[in-house]
Structure 1
Amino acid sequence: MNSLVLVILGIILFLIAYATYGSYLAKQWGIDTSRKTPAHTLRDDIDYCPANAKVLLGHHFSSIAGAGPIAGPIQAAIFGWLPVYLWIVIGSIFVGGVHDWGSLFASIRHDGKSIGEIIRVNLGEKGKKLFNIFAWLTLVLVVAAFTDICAGTFAYDAAKPEILTGARAGTASVLFIFLAIAFGFLVYRKNANLAVSTVVGVALLFLCIYIGYQFPFLKLSKTGWQVVLIIYIFCASVLPVWMLLQPRDYLSSFLLYAMLIGGVLGIIILRPSIAIPATTSFVVGSGEKAQYLFPILFVTVACGAISGFHSLVGSGTTSKQLNSEKDSKLVGYGGMLIEGVVAIVALISVAYVAKAEGTPAQIFASGVAAFMNSFGLPVPVGKVFVVLAFSAFALTSLDTATRIGRYIFQEFFPVKQDGTKSPLANMYVSTAITIACSVLLLAYGYLNIWPIFGSANQLLAGLSLLALTAWFINTGKKSWMTMVPMIFMFCVTLTALLLLIKNFFAGGKILLGVIAVLLFILAIDLIITSTKVLSGKNEKKSINA
């Protein structure tokens, strides 16, 4: 199979889906372009702040992408390229895209509140509390895992002074943070022209990359970078979105787009052959290390097809910045389809360099650098560029996850009847607690955190689809487009948890086994609650139609 066919076919199917199924969803859901969004009705220029659709797409795409659409397909390729490819395409269109757009749309119809609040309105207070606890713990895992990933990516080993990839990526990333702050100030406070500012900003972004490549002056250890990143994400959580989060994610999206375009263009020119089989076996490995195509493939691909983290981004930060409901399709549905293209490129990368060793980031960098070499970009430069882009994915997810974690933690302590707030609802305190809990997990490293995170993340997607299904039923809208993916994701997640429980206890990993049991019980509890809602036994009706 020629990889050119895979990437072109995927892009064509995504474009057709955006124009057809996307339009169908917009009509069924009742997208209203004249209705004011929370970014306007609740504007405070700290969390609620309307943004240009293209700027918001950059922020949203950068935030949801993370390392998942790259690492997931590469790891899932053990089952062959065909099942991974089919799940990326079908999942992005009918599962992940619906999940992401639906979460964003439901949030703007609930004053920009989180999925937890949507569950409260449609399923009751108990459901909200359980979901928010689950979501917050998942975000703690995200912050811990991505802090470790980013610190490891940027780390400099004094014993190997000739290896400068991490120092170069770290130096460029820090320079980029200051560039983003300047960009936000000029665009949002000095009303600088967005088009002109974008051209200048992107040019300066690549200047940051050049400086980082030629003069990598930030040569910190992994621990040193962990300290720097902790300080950064604290600031990113409490500063107004226009000052850092919006501009940084917007500008970094061009870096990600450049990598994506370069990878696709390289595939078109090089037409790399697929070096792995279309399918391998339903069961890969044996004993405790056995991997079953169902459900492991659907959990492993993760962000490449659907991710519960996306619902937290859509209902956490994006919904508070949406300028008009008409922009929700581009940002919510379009963002997921773009991520699907990233996942396809990642799959082709590992399929081309099948014998390459290293982390998913290194394998991805080797493949894409080889593709871009077809139009003249030196492989060493291409590898550094791709590693920078990969770290940009991870870093944007990291700062967004911290901010959303702060939002959810604050929701645990609502305003009292006398108008007073708990000290724990303070944005600085809630941010500090969220980060502190993540720091406690750093010693385990992301490799130990990732299995539980993956299962929790996909279960979170099922719970978000549950919230959307209940809301659509309560408001008299068709719900099959969320109900069918919801049922599938619960089947995937519950089966995966049963396998994890078996393997964890058999392998003596008691704590991980206990956590898996708790997740399983939580899922069953919420499924029972949803059954009552879907059968019409609940009396609570949503007014946010």
Structure 2
Amino acid sequence: MSAVILVVIAVILFFIAYVSYGAYLAKKWGIDPGKETPAHTMYDGVDYVPAKAPVLLGHHFASIAGAAPIIGPVTAAVFGWVPVFLWIVIGGIFMGAVHDFGALFASVRHGGRSIGEIIEKNIGKSGKQLFSIFAWLTLVLVVAAFTIVTSNTFVGVPEAATSSILFILLAVLFGYATNRLNVPLGVGTVIGVILLFLCIVAGLYFPIVLPQKTWALILLVYVFIASVTPVWILLQPRDYLNSFLLYAMLIGAAIGIFIANPTIQLAPVTSFKTNLGYLFPILFVTVACGAISGFHSMVSSGTTAKQLDSEKDARLIGYGGMLIECFLAVIALVTAAMLLKDKYAELLKAGGPVTVFSTGVGSFIARLGIPQKAGTSFAALAVSAFALTSLDTATRLGRFVFQEYFSSDDEKAAESLMTNKYFATLVTVAFGGALALSGQWSTVWPIFGSANQLLAALALLAVSVWLANNGKDNTNTKYPMIFMFAVTLTALVFVVQSNLAKGNLILAVIGALLFVLAVILAVQANKVLSNLKKPPTDINA
């Protein structure tokens, strides 16, 4: 079977889903372009800053599309390409995009607050406290993991380090030019993208070589600064410009696939049980980003909701942004599926999923007349750039969750040390840095897949209860929520069993605690839904 057929089917289905199902949800939920968003009503020049739709789409897409939508599909291809493809397409359209869109819209209607705040308003304070602790610890783990991943990348590919530093400087100049000097976005984008690719060229000629621990410390200082810096000067412009790297890689790879017309070599379906485990639930935990990922709800309800200029942009950014990531996941799957089983296993063992992806994309781009080595290096550089984006976004999100946990309507609490943005950031970076530099993050990381999908289930639960509380039909979020709870709880049972068998009590206990957390929040939500007698206030109020 030709890989072109897979790509064409995916593109057609994603387009149809966006213009039909996405529009249906927008109408059903009550998207109101005339209603002011928190970016305007709560503008503070730091976190609450309205952004034009293309800029915010760039930020959102760059934040959610790190290495995960590449690693997941390539790794899960051991089950065969058919189940992975179906999960990406069906899961992306009816679960992932709904999850991201719903979390974004619910957050906007709650003053740009996080999922934890939505849970407090609609389920109860204890639910928010449990969720916030879990979300913050998960984000600290992400900060630790991506600090090591990014610093290792800078050591292994010093060209990426130079390019990344130049990206940051370019972003500051772009942000100042478009927000303070009133340079038109179109003009700034053309100049910025040209300079962006020149940064990549400069990195190839002037690589910066430093020890891994030095890079880790530099990154921790950077993410602290990035977390408290106004979004318009760094976060918005850097992610917007970086997104063009991924767009270019996606377009180049797609055109290359059409020219090369590779044949799918991997088996459609291998076995229900592989070295990864059972297809259910492991496939649905392994392929998270690219189908549905709880981390996306933190981005949607964390940074993105605070920058949404108009509610009419929510469908493009929330639903559309996820579908673009699903397309990236399909491309990643093709890079694995076009290999024979032995070659796939060889590349996976030699350099991991990113190597499989970079090699495949390099071969596609080579069809455009670009040297394959250059195409492979470009793909690797693009992935490393997005790892850095995910790192500082996770830090800012950790700061938000920490502040919200200690926030209240009391003025003294609102001005306390615990809600101070600098202190909240310092605590988040300190814990993430300590975990990273100690090396203990790798001990806990194996449970991240289950924790991430539990976040998705809880985000869908929060949106479902909010919709029901406001007299709206929550069918479109409720059934995906039930499925994700089934996936997560089953996966956690396997985590506890396998780690008890190995004598790894730490992971077994963490898995058991996550299981209990999920059950408690589900029970609390069910009580709220059962007690609803009449819809209190209109969703558009």
- TM-score interval, normalised by the smaller of the two chains: over 0.9
Aligned to 2:310: 324
The structure-2 alpha-carbon separation of the partners of 1:484 and 1:447, relative to structure 1 and needing over 3 Å to count, comes to same
How far did 1:457 drift? Answer: 0.5
Taking a change above 3 Å as real, the CA distance of residues 541 and 460 of structure 1, as seen in their structure-2 partners, is farther
CA contact (8 A) 1:148 1:445 kept: no
Q: Tell me whether 1:308 sits opposite 2:294 in the alignment.
A: yes
* Pair 419,543 (structure 1): closer, same or farther in 2 beyond 3 Å: farther
Matches within 5 A, 1:76-87: 76-87=76-87
CA distance in 2, matches of 1:446, 1:270: 41
Contact 2:471 2:536 in 1 (8 A): no
2:368 is matched with which residue? 375
Pick aligned residue for 1:196 from 162, 187, 205: 187
Is 1:259 equivalent to 2:253 in the alignment? no
AA in 2 matched with 1:359: G
Which deviates further from its counterpart, 175-184 or 431-440? 431-440
Aligned residue pairs, count: 531
In the other structure, the counterpart of 1:270 is: 260
Tell me, in whole angstroms, the C-alpha distance in 2 between the residues paired with 1:17 and 1:251.
27
Q: What's the offset of the Cα at 1:451?
A: 1.9
Kindly tell me: are residues 403 and 540 of structure 1, through their superposed partners in 2, closer, same or farther at Cα, counting changes over 3 Å?
farther
The match for 2:212 among 205, 216, 222 is 222
Q: Paired residue for 2:230?
A: 240
Question: Aligned partners of 1:57, 1:128: CA distance in 2, in Å?
Answer: 28
The CA deviation string for residues 108-141 of structure 1, in whole angstroms up to 9 with x for no partner, is: 1111111111111110111111111111111111
Aligned to 2:507: 512
- After TM superposition, list the pairs within 5 Å mapping 1:86-165 onto structure 2: 86-156=86-156
Corresponding position of 1:160: none
Stretches of structure 2 that go unaligned for 5 or more consecutive residues are none
Does the C-alpha gap of structure 1 residues 542 and 145 become closer, same or farther in structure 2, counting only changes over 3 Å? farther
1:348 aligned partner? 334
Name the CA distance, whole Å, in 2 between partners of 1:332 and 1:416.
30
* Separation in structure 1 between the aligned mates of residue 243 and residue 138 of structure 2, nearest angstrom: 25
Verify the 8 A CA contact 1:113 1:315 in the aligned structure 2: yes
Whole-Å separation in 2 of the counterparts to 1:449 and 1:373: 39
Q: Tell me the CA shift for residue 425 of structure 1.
A: 1.5
Moved more, 443-452 or 43-52: 443-452
Normalised TM-score (structure 1)? 0.95
Aligned equivalent of 2:462: 467
2:390 matches 1:397 = yes
- 1:304 aligns to what SS in structure 2? coil
Q: Does 1:457 align with 2:452?
A: yes
Tell me, in whole angstroms, the C-alpha distance in 1 between the residues paired with 2:534 and 2:507. Answer: 38
In structure 1, the partner of 2:430 is 436
Which residue of structure 2 lines up, in the alignment, with residue 364 of structure 1? 357
Q: Give the residue type in structure 1 aligned to 2:282.
A: I
**Does 2:75 match 1:75?**
yes
Q: For 2:489 and 2:377, locate their aligned partners in 1 and report how far apart those are by CA, in whole Å.
A: 39
Q: Aligned partner of 1:306: which letter?
A: I
Q: After superposition, what is the alpha-carbon deviation per residue over 1:442-475, rounded to whole angstroms, capped at 9, x for unaligned?
A: 1337654432111110000000000000011010
Q: Secondary structure at the match of 2:305?
A: helix
What letter is aligned with 2:484?
Answer: M
1:384 and 2:377 are equivalent in the alignment: yes
Q: Secondary structure at the match of 1:49?
A: coil
Return the alpha-carbon distance in structure 1 between the equivalents of residues 320 and 440 of structure 2.
33
Contact persistence 1:122–1:542 (CA under 8 A): no
The two structures have a TM-score, normalised by structure 2, of 0.96
What is the deviation of 1:325? Answer: 0.4
Displacement after TM superposition at 1:352 (Å)? 2.3
Q: 2:469·2:532 contact (CA, 8 Å) conserved in 1? A: no
* 1:16-57 Cα deviation digits (max 9, x unpaired): 000110111011001101000000111111110000000000
Q: What SS does structure 2 have at the residue aligned with 1:499? A: helix
Distance 1:260 1:345 in 2: 8
Q: Distance in 2 between matches of 1:380 and 1:262?
A: 14
Q: Which amino acid aligns with 1:464?
A: A
Which secondary structure state, in structure 2, belongs to the residue aligned with residue 326 of structure 1?
helix
Could you tell me which residue of structure 2 aligns to residue 161 of structure 1?
none
Amino acid at match of 1:427: K
| Corresponding residue of 1:27 | 27
* 1:256-282 per-position Cα deviation (integer Å, ceiling 9, x unaligned): 100111111111110111121110000
Task: Give the SS at the match of 2:289.
Answer: helix
**Aligned residues of 2:151 and 2:213 also touching (Cα < 8 A):** yes
Conserved in 2, the CA contact under 8 Å of 1:149 and 1:446?
no
Distance in 2 (CA, whole Å) between partners of 1:301 and 1:103 is 20
* Structure 2: distance between partners of 1:431 and 1:326: 32
The 2-side partners of 1:6 and 1:70 are apart by 17
- The whole-number CA distance in structure 2 between the counterparts of 1:439 and 1:399 is 13
The one-letter amino acid of 1:34's match is G
1:324-376 deviation per Cα after TM superposition (whole angstroms, max 9, x unaligned)? 00000000000000000000000111122424231211111011001111111
Whether the aligned pair in 1 keeps the contact of 2:112 and 2:305 (CA below 8 Å) is: yes
Does 2:179 align with 1:178?
no
- 1:209: which partner in 2? 200
Q: Work out whether residues 532 and 538 of structure 1, in 8 Å CA contact, stay in contact via their aligned partners in 2.
A: no
SS in 2 for 1:262: helix
Residues 83 and 210 of structure 1: is their aligned pair in 2 closer, same or farther, counting only changes over 3 Å? same
| Conserved 8 A contact 1:110-1:544 | no
CA 1:498–1:541: 2 relative to 1, 3 Å: farther
Q: Where in structure 2 are the equivalents of 1:409-428 lying within 5 Å?
A: 409-415=402-408, 417-419=410-412, 421-428=415-422
Displaced runs of 4 or more, over 6 A: none
1:542 Cα shift?
A: 6.2
CA distance in 2, matches of 1:387, 1:126: 43
Q: Conserved in 2, the CA contact under 8 Å of 1:49 and 1:321?
A: yes
Q: 2:495, 2:62 → 1: CA distance? A: 30
Q: Distance in 2 between matches of 1:306 and 1:140?
A: 21
Q: Distance in 2 between matches of 1:228 and 1:537?
A: 51
Which of 324, 329, 334 lines up with 1:338 in the alignment?
A: 324
Query: Share of identical aligned residues, percent?
Result: 56
Asked if structure 2 preserves the Cα contact closer than 8 Å seen for 1:121 and 1:541, the reply is no
Distance 1:399 1:541 in 2: 39
